[in-house]
Structure 1
C-alpha cells in the first residue's frame, strides 16, 4: 500500500471536475458560435471574394479545433504545488533576545488572559 509522504496542500489541488467540464463546454460553444457566424457570413456577404474562402475555412476547420479544445482536460497544464508555509512571511522581531548563559536554565513562561464572565440576559 502506498502511503503519501505529506499532506495534500489546498493550493495544489486540481480544478473540480465539474468546473473543468463547464469551462471546456463554454470554449466549445464559443467556437461553434464562431463557426456558425463564419457559415452565415460565407453565404450572405456578396460579392464573393478572397474573404469568402476565409469564412469557408473557418466553417470547415473550426469544428475539428473545437473538439480538440473541448477534449483537452486538466492534464494539459499541470500545476505545481505551492508550499503554504513558504508563502507566508514570518514576522520579524524588533531586537534579538539575549541568549541565556550556559549555567542559567532555560525558562519558558506562559501567561493566560483572565476569563471573562458570560454575557447576562436582561430580558426578564
Structure 2
C-alpha cells in the first residue's frame, strides 16, 4: 500500500537560532550606527536650526528602537494546523489464544541459627 504523508517542507521551517540572532545583531548595529551619525550631526553641523533638533531627537530615540527591534524575533513563518491523526498502514496484530505467563523467580532469605 502506498502511504501519503505531509512532509515538512524545508522552506516552511523557521530560521536557525544562530541565523536569527545574527540578523538581530546586524539590525541593532545598523540602528546604533545611524544613532552615532545623528549624534555627530547634532554636534558638528552649523548653523544650528530645526534640523539640529531632528538629529538630537533621532539620537535619543534610536537606542529604544534598536533594542526593541533586536529583542523582537522574526516570526516570518506561517504556521498551519496539523492533523493529530496519522495514516498508518500497520497490520492489526492477532492476540495469542493463551497469554504467555512470565517466569517468576523468587528469592527469599533465611535466617541463620547461631548454634554450631
TM range (shorter): 0.5 to 0.7
Matching of residue 79 in structure 1 with residue 78 in structure 2: yes
Q: Secondary structure at the match of 1:46?
A: coil
> TM-score under structure 2 normalisation?
0.60
CA shift, 1:37, in A, is 0.4
Root-mean-square deviation over aligned CA pairs: 1.8
* Cα distance in 2 for residues equivalent to 1:32 and 1:74: 19
Higher Cα Rg: structure 1 or 2?
A: 2
Partner of 1:41: 41
Q: Distance in 2 between matches of 1:79 and 1:43?
A: 46
SS at 1:74 equivalent: coil
* 1:69 to partner: Cα distance: 0.7
Length-normalised TM-score, structure 1: 0.56
Distance 2:38 2:74 in 1: 29
Gaps of 5+ in 2: 81-116
- Cα distance in structure 1, aligned partners of 2:71 and 2:78: 18
- Structure 1 residue ranges without an equivalent (≥5): 82-124
Over 6 Å off, 4+ runs: none
